[in-house]
Every structure is written in structure tokens, then in C-alpha cells.
Amino acid sequence: MAIIVNKAVKISQKHLLGIQDLSISDVKYILSEAKQFINLNRSKNKKLDILRGKTQINLFFEPSTRTQSSFELAGKRLGADVMSMNITNSAIKKGETLIDTAMTLNAMHPDIIVVRHQDSGACNLLSQKVNCAVLNAGDGRREHPTQALLDALTIIDRKEKIEGLKIAICGDILHSRVARSNIYLLNMLGAELNIIAPTNLMPNNIEKFGVNTFSDMKKGLKGCDIVMMLRLQKERMTSSFLSSNREYYEYYGLTPNKLEHAKEDALIMHPGPMNRGIEIDTNLADDINISVIKEQVELGVAVRMACLKIFCE
Amino acid sequence: MKKKYFLNANILDPHNSIEEIGGLIISEDGKIEAVGKKVNKNNIPSREKFFDLKEKHIFPGIVDMRVFVGEPGFEYKENFKTLSNAALAGGVTSAVTMPNTIPVIDNVSIVDFLKRRGRDKAKINIFPTASLTKNIEGTNMTEFGLLQKKGIIGFTDGIKTIQNTRLMSRIMKSAYDLNCLIMQHAEDYELAKNGMVNDGIISTKLGLQGISELAEKIIIERDLTLLDEFNCRYHISQLSSAKSVDLIEKRKNEVSFSCGVSINNLSLNENDIGDFRTFLKLSPPLRKEEDRLILVKGINKDLIDVIVSDHKPEDEEQKRLTFSQAATGASGIETLLPLALELFHNDSLKLNKIIKALTSNPAKILKINKGNLSVGNDADFCIVDIYKPWIVKKETLISKSKNTSIEDKKLQGKVTNTFVKGEELFKI
């Protein structure tokens, strides 16, 4: 299949560290490139050679299934040489600092480094020390730009637009990089955002990002076209944020009953991995008529291919 | 030592209410012999050489109440010699050192070592503090009485806070009996847990755990409640928020205490952290611009008594990390005065207020005869060209650690000469 190469359009950034740094034309450029890869990924021969001879290093300091495999597949489908570092066996376990690891990898002349780290801002630090492009695959609770881009692509694929849609983001906003990136991106693309969370999981001053906030889920879901559920990030919770899972499910779990408050044709999204029965009813999650969770994963590969292609140039 | 004569200087000594053009005579034994407008050419024997300062300023040597020195344990960050040189370049002639060393300054024998090192290596006056609790663990009190007899100026856990209310009440009772100065770093640990920056829009944007201003207010509120019952000499090391200043204003007339502010909190705000600048990871954290303005007002209304550098040298390795892994604190003793002068140049504070908060006020709290130009006293002072422009550059800083919070900042005002006991120990 033919991929149109549009040399005239350029990205404004050297690295993809967060949606915050991107302009609206950057975003539209990435999304339009990604669209071209959707059909390629559905076809029989999925291999291209756009990135032949390029080296991609995946540096994941935090466990990840979908993001890491998605980036790995994306690189391979574009013909890059992909290396995934296994942190548990590496020098980082021996006390090497992030900067030293970055310098070491940099000496091997990679063209792109994909990094996930438990600390906010880790990718910014890394990007200052290497010569190649850095793609952020999630840093602490700050940003997860490719997730937001794939969410936007999924919404556009189903609803044909984002502008004017009412989108609810619900759950553990405080610890969520997905929420932050989505707030920046969907706001930029003209959606109206309802952020729903118990006050304990609502970040300070989030309303200054131009969103509506709700601690009552039913009110927050009213009239929404999209309901984006987030995972309860137990591993980032240092002290008692919630009394119990069952109480959380009672008030903030997405059930058919609560979904009725949203629009009739509302779609459900979730970045995964899901805690079934805690933040989302298991049948709802699997209902192919309203849940686009699997499509998010599918389009994730296309978005990451687009990002790799654009930032490798 | 020969007698020294300075003429035509802008002399500012808040302790003696001197603010006039005049001269200064230093005696052969390094004491102040005469000061003020009455000192002029006629007082000087005709053959003696004198220095015409051309209306440059003379301030009493600065008394910095919160200084971390790496000795013992962290000599690679800063030792007494490098600290002295950095201090002199900033006009600081007296420093109160924090006990957060390895080993901790918590017993009589280590004080002997410290005083010996201070005497042999430091060129400025060192006033060491000891910890409030053994090994800064927040459980058992140190020997306030014996330590004070050995020359300890006050007691603080430095970067740590006494969390246990019962212990705090007992510390106050002991301090009352022994007339000791207690200095508290006010932060509730549970509220501030894992926090790195002010809890607000910046913490949300950067995805960093925030420290609520309530963490500071709650400890101050608790301590002032205790102080009401067990009145001792009590000082809050650093205020950082408008909420704390409001509280101080409400209680200042009811209980007797003093408080300080770091020059960082007085001059910078949370936006300066920018793109994860670890040199601005401070404790207490930089807060909103509104908080900064209220802190400045606090100095103006005499609610806040002293300005400190909170000089905390950290080597580059401890700062070249992700924000959450990086060490807390900034080096700042040599930029304390120039940065404070910015508040004069931008009309936030009167020069007299600034110098008072840097000299006579801390000396009064510490009960030391420093920070003034009284006749008969040690001639500790600095000569300052308060209009001289310069740019802060890491490479030109004298401190062993270069972790300045104001890299590349354009400042106006530089110390040109610093004297301790009449001896010129720094000259530009």
C-alpha cells in the first residue's frame, strides 16, 4: 500500500515529551499520518521499510504490556531495528543513574529512544542528554502523549470529530498521566471536558486547565458522548485515599445504571489495564456496541507508527 | 594591625539607628573606634592614609541564621574554609550552622571538634547549633544545658520537624528552664509526605506530589498553642506561605516568638521551577507569587524578623537526577545580600528593613553582640556597591557546591570588601 509522504509538513518539536509542547497543527499532522497506518495494520502484509536502518531503543523502567508491545510492533512494522532494554537485568539495578544510562545508550547512536519512567519529568531530563529523539511512553503522573493521541484517533474514527463533543474522564485523576495528556489534547481539539473523581483523587487546581469538575458521577456523565474510565492506580497510592473497592465501585464504578445519564449513543473507553468490578462493570467493558477499548489498543499501534516515523525524520 | 580610616561612606546600622554619610575608624586591635557623620577628615592625622568610599555603603557584617556546612561528613560539598570564603564574598561575617551532619551535632564531644575546626579553618564567626533530638530522630531530647555551656547557640533539628506534640511540649519546658533558643522547621510529615513542590497548579501540571501550605501552618499553630503555656525562646526557621503570615499576624501580640524567611521564598515563586529545574527543589517549597508578596509584606510589617540564605550546598551528582530523586536545597550564602537588594531596587522594601533583617534582628534573637557597628565592638562589616550590576554564574561562585537557585539572574549590588575583626578578608 502506498504511503503518502508529505515533506512540506514538519513537526515543531524534536522530542515527543508531552501534549503540552505540541501545537494544534502538530497534533493534526500526527493524527493524519496515523490514519494512513490503520488500514495497513489490518492488511495481510504489514511490513514497510520507512525506518530501515534506523535503531529504536525501548527503555521501560516501569512494567508495561500494551504500550511496550505496541511501540515494539510499530517500530518493527516500519522496518526499524528495535531493541527493548530489560531493566531488571541492566546496570540501573546496579545503581546507575538515568543520565549515565542515557549517555551509554547515546554512544550507540540510536535514532529514537522510547522511555517510560516512574518519575515525572524523567523523559525531559533524558532528552537533554541524548542526540536522538525521545518519545515519552509515560512519565510518572505527568504525561502519556501517545495514549492521548490514540484516544483522540479512536474518537475521531467513531464519531468523525472531536470538536463539540462532551467527554467525561472519570476515576483516579490525581495519579493519572493519561488524564493529563487527554485534558490537554481534547481541550485543544475543542471538546468539552467533565472530570469526575472523588475529591481525594482530584488534583489541586485542575479546573484551571479549562475543565468542569464533578465529585458526583451521575451529574458529571450527563449528556456525555464519550465516557473515559481510568484505572485506579493502587501502586501510586501512598496512604488511604479510599475506604474500599466496593464503596468506590458503588459511587465511581461505571455501571449500566450510571451510564444511562450519558447520551444514548455514548461510547466507553479505558486505557487499560482494567480493574473489572472496581472501576467498570465487566459486561459493559466487553459490550462491543458501546465499548471501544479493543479499538483503542488497535489504533495505538498506528499512532505509535506515526510518531516513530515523524520523530525519526 | 594598623588603624584604618574610611571616609565618605553611606553608613547603615539599624541597631544604632545610624543612616548617614560618614566615616569609620578601626582601632589597632580590630575594634570599631568611631563611626558616623562626626568622623571626617579632621579626625584623621594628616599623614595617615584613608579610604574614600565615594558614598558606597557600609553595612554591619551579615548574620545568617540558617547555614548548612558539610563538616563533618560532607566535606566534598562544603567545609569551613570554602564556606567562609563564600560567606565573605557575600558580606556574611557570622553564620549559624545547622546540626544535620554526619555525625549529627547532638553531644558535647562533637561540639569540641566542631569548635576546634571552626576556629582553625573558618575565617568568619561560626555559631553552631545542636540538634533538638538525639541523632535527629525526633524521640529523645539532647542535653540542652550542657551543650549550651559548650557554646551551642540554639537547638534545631534543621531540615526535620518535631512531630510528636508531647515531646515538643517537653522541649519547650526544658528550654524555658535553661533559657535556650529553639528553632523549628515547620512541616507536618504526613501532610507533606513525598511532596516536592507547592501543592497547586504547578504540582498538577508537572505531575509532582505537592506539599500543602497547611503542613506548615498546622505545626506553627500547634507550637504557638504550646508556647502559650510553656513560654520559651522560640523561632520558626522559615515561613513560606500567606496562610502562615496571616497566622503570625494574629498571634504576634499574644505570644512571644520570632520567625524567619529564606531569601528564596522572598524572591522566587513556583513558576521558576520551569521544566523540572532541580536546583529549585527547596524546603519549604517555592509557593505562589501571591504568597511571595505576602512574605515581603511580612518583612515590611515586622511580622517576619529575619532573612536567611538557607545555604544548602549539594554537589552536582545529587541534582543531576529526576526531580523526585534530586536532593533538596540551594547554595546561597554569597548571593543572600545581592538578592535581598533586588527587593530594595524594585521598591518592595526599604534598605533599612532589609539590613535590619540581615543583621541586628538575628543578633537580637541569638543574643549575640554582632550585626552592629557599636563603638568598642569587633569591626565586622562589609562595603557594598549597591548599584553595581552583575550576573550570577555557577562558574564564578566561590562555594564548593554550585547549586544556586538563581543561575543567570541579573542582580544589582555587590560586596566589594568584607572585614572580620578589622581585618580585610575579602576584596573584589
Taking the C-alpha atoms of residue B408 and residue B159, their distance in angstroms, rounded to an integer, is: 27
| Chain-chain contact of A143 with B201 (C-beta, under 8 angstroms) | no
Across the interface, of B193, B204, B323, the residue whose CB is closest to A203 is B204
Which residue of B lies nearest to A101 if distances are taken between CA atoms?
A: B321
Instruction: Provide the b/e sequence for A151-165 (b: ≥16 CB within 10 Å).
Output: bbbbbbbeeeebeeb
pTM for this model (two decimals): 0.93
Predicted pLDDT at A91 = 67
Which residue of A lies nearest to B210 if distances are taken between CA atoms?
A: A204
- Asked if B339 contacts B294 with a C-beta cutoff of 8 angstroms, the reply is no
| pLDDT band for position A174 (cuts 50, 70, 90) | very high
- Asked if B307 contacts B299 with a C-beta cutoff of 8 angstroms, the reply is yes
Specify the DSSP element, H or E, that contains A196.
Answer: strand A192-196
Across the interface, of A99, A139, A238, the residue whose CB is closest to B194 is A238
Taking the C-alpha atoms of residue A122 and residue A107, their distance in angstroms, rounded to an integer, is: 19
> In chain B, what residues touch A19 (CB-CB under 8 Å)?
none
Taking the C-alpha atoms of residue A6 and residue A29, their distance in angstroms, rounded to an integer, is: 10
To which residue does cell 515533506 refer?
Answer: A7
Average pLDDT rounded to a whole number, residues A44-72: 92
* Other CB atoms within 10 Å distance of the CB of residue B271: 12
| Chain-chain contact of B193 with A117 (C-beta, under 8 angstroms) | no
CA distances from B2 to B29, B58, B249 (A): 8, 20, 49
> In chain B, what residues touch A203 (CB-CB under 8 Å)?
203-204
Instruction: Provide the b/e sequence for A72-85 (b: ≥16 CB within 10 Å).
Output: bbbbbbbebebbbb
> In chain A, what residues touch B275 (CB-CB under 8 Å)?
121, 124
Which residue of A lies nearest to B201 if distances are taken between CA atoms?
A: A205
Closest CA to B154 of B335, B367, B330, B393: B367
Taking the C-alpha atoms of residue B120 and residue B76, their distance in angstroms, rounded to an integer, is: 18
| Chain-chain contact of B323 with A121 (C-beta, under 8 angstroms) | yes
- Strand B233-236 relative to strand B181-184: parallel, antiparallel, unpaired? parallel
Predicted pLDDT at B107 = 95
Predicted pLDDT at B358 = 98
Across the interface, of B203, B204, B322, the residue whose CB is closest to A98 is B322
DSSP summary character for residue A9: -
Using the predicted structure, report yes or no on whether residue A5 has a pLDDT greater than 70.
no
Closest CA to A115 of A105, A104, A126, A106: A126
Predicted pLDDT at A7 = 55
Bridge partners of residue A170, in order along the sequence: A196, A229
Task: Name which of B204, B276, B319 to mutate to probe chain A: the one with the most chain A Cβ atoms within 10 A of its Cβ.
Answer: B204
Average pLDDT rounded to a whole number, residues A152-159: 96
Taking the C-alpha atoms of residue B385 and residue B287, their distance in angstroms, rounded to an integer, is: 31
Taking the C-alpha atoms of residue B137 and residue A186, their distance in angstroms, rounded to an integer, is: 48
Using the predicted structure, report yes or no on whether residue B1 has a pLDDT greater than 90.
no
Closest CA of chain A from B246, distance in Å? 22
**Segment B371-404, tens digit of pLDDT:** 999 999 999 999 999 999 999 999 999 999 999 9
**Segment B331-348, tens digit of pLDDT:** 999 999 999 999 999 999
> In chain A, what residues touch B193 (CB-CB under 8 Å)?
238-239
Which residue of B lies nearest to A202 if distances are taken between CA atoms?
A: B204
Residues from A in contact with B at Cβ < 8 Å: 20, 97-99, 117, 119-122, 124-125, 139-143, 177, 180, 203-206, 208-209, 238-239
ipTM over 0.95: no
| pLDDT band for position A87 (cuts 50, 70, 90) | confident
| Chain-chain contact of A122 with B204 (C-beta, under 8 angstroms) | no
- Strand A81-85 relative to strand A112-117: parallel, antiparallel, unpaired? unpaired
Which residue of B lies nearest to A126 if distances are taken between CA atoms?
A: B322
DSSP summary character for residue A203: P
Closest CA to B247 of B225, B272, B274, B273: B225
Give me B412's grid cell: 544589582
Closest CA of chain A from B56, distance in Å? 43
- pLDDT greater at residue B115 or residue A283: A283
> In chain A, what residues touch B210 (CB-CB under 8 Å)?
204
> In chain B, what residues touch A238 (CB-CB under 8 Å)?
193-194
| Chain-chain contact of A142 with B207 (C-beta, under 8 angstroms) | yes
> In chain B, what residues touch A121 (CB-CB under 8 Å)?
206-208, 275-276, 322-323
Which residue of B lies nearest to A96 if distances are taken between CA atoms?
A: B321
DSSP summary character for residue A43: S
**Segment B121-150, tens digit of pLDDT:** 999 999 999 999 999 999 999 999 999 999
- Strand B32-36 relative to strand B18-26: parallel, antiparallel, unpaired? antiparallel
Q: Which amino acid is at B159?
A: I
Count CB pairs under 8 A between chains A and B: 64
**Segment B28-51, tens digit of pLDDT:** 999 999 999 999 888 888 888 899
Predicted pLDDT at B9 = 96
Q: What are phi and psi of B60, to 5 degrees?
A: -60, 150
Taking the C-alpha atoms of residue B167 and residue A299, their distance in angstroms, rounded to an integer, is: 59
- Of chain A, the percentage scoring pLDDT greater than 90 comes to 81
Range scoring the smallest mean pLDDT among A164-168, A230-234, A277-281, A300-304: A230-234
Taking the C-alpha atoms of residue B325 and residue B342, their distance in angstroms, rounded to an integer, is: 32
Give me A22's grid cell: 505540541
| Chain-chain contact of A99 with B320 (C-beta, under 8 angstroms) | yes
| Chain-chain contact of B321 with A203 (C-beta, under 8 angstroms) | no
Range scoring the smallest mean pLDDT among A202-211, A233-242, B218-227, B373-382: A233-242
- Strand A133-139 relative to strand A212-214: parallel, antiparallel, unpaired? unpaired
Closest CA of chain B from A67, distance in Å? 20
Using the predicted structure, report yes or no on whether residue B181 has a pLDDT greater than 80.
yes
> In chain A, what residues touch B194 (CB-CB under 8 Å)?
238
Predicted pLDDT at A240 = 75
Across the interface, of B199, B201, B208, the residue whose CB is closest to A120 is B208
Predicted pLDDT at A85 = 83
To which residue does cell 526535620 refer?
Answer: B160
Taking the C-alpha atoms of residue A173 and residue A184, their distance in angstroms, rounded to an integer, is: 13
Q: How is A94-113 classified by DSSP, letter by letter?
A: GT--HHHHHHHHHTT--SEE
Closest CA of chain A from B9, distance in Å? 48
Give me B323's grid cell: 526531580
Average pLDDT rounded to a whole number, residues B96-105: 96
**How many contiguous H segments (helices) and E segments (strands) does chain A have?**
11, 9
Q: What are phi and psi of A188, to 5 degrees?
A: -60, -35
Residues from B in contact with A at Cβ < 8 Å: 190, 193-194, 199-201, 203-208, 210, 275-276, 317, 320-325
| Chain-chain contact of B193 with A121 (C-beta, under 8 angstroms) | no
Taking the C-alpha atoms of residue A47 and residue B23, their distance in angstroms, rounded to an integer, is: 85
**Segment B242-289, tens digit of pLDDT:** 999 999 999 999 999 999 999 999 999 999 999 999 999 999 999 999
Q: Does residue A213 sit in helix, strand or coil?
A: strand
Reduced 3-state DSSP string for chain B = CCCEEEEEEEEEEHHHCEEEEEEEEECCCCEEEEEECCCCHHHCCCCCCCEECCCCEEEECEEEEEECCCCCCCCCCCCHHHHHHHHHHCCEEEEEECCCCCCCCCCHHHHHHHHHHHHHHCCCEEEECECCEHHHCCCCECCHHHHHHCCCCCEECCCCCCCCHHHHHHHHHHHHHHCCEEEECCCCHHHHCCCCEECCHHHHHHCCCEECCHHHHHHHHHHHHHHHHCCCEEEECCCCCHHHHHHHHHHCCCCCCEEEEEHHHHHCCHHHHCCCCHHHCCCCCCCCHHHHHHHHHHHHCCCCCEEECCECCCCHHHCCCCCCCCCCCEECCCCHHHHHHHHHHCCCCCHHHHHHHHCHHHHHHHCCCCCCCCCCCECCEEEEEEEEEEECCHHHCCCCCCCECCCCCEEEEEEEEEEECCEEEEEC
| Chain-chain contact of B203 with A98 (C-beta, under 8 angstroms) | no
> In chain A, what residues touch B279 (CB-CB under 8 Å)?
none
Task: Name which of B208, B322, B324 to mutate to probe chain A: the one with the most chain A Cβ atoms within 10 A of its Cβ.
Answer: B322
Bridge partners of residue B391, in order along the sequence: B410
Taking the C-alpha atoms of residue B214 and residue B187, their distance in angstroms, rounded to an integer, is: 9
| Chain-chain contact of B207 with A140 (C-beta, under 8 angstroms) | yes
> In chain B, what residues touch A209 (CB-CB under 8 Å)?
204
Taking the C-alpha atoms of residue B193 and residue B195, their distance in angstroms, rounded to an integer, is: 5
Predicted pLDDT at A89 = 65
Q: Does residue A138 sit in helix, strand or coil?
A: strand
Closest CA to A74 of A135, A144, A5: A135
- Catalytic residue positions of B, numbered: 310
**What average pLDDT does the structure give for chain B?**
96
| Chain-chain contact of B322 with A125 (C-beta, under 8 angstroms) | yes
- Of chain B, the percentage scoring pLDDT greater than 70 comes to 100
Bridge partners of residue A267, in order along the sequence: A226
Percent composition of chain A: helix, strand, coil (DSSP 3-state, to 5): 45, 15, 40
Specify the DSSP element, H or E, that contains A114.
Answer: strand A112-117
Average pLDDT rounded to a whole number, residues B196-215: 96
Across the interface, of B201, B275, B317, the residue whose CB is closest to A208 is B201
Closest CA of chain A from B134, distance in Å? 28
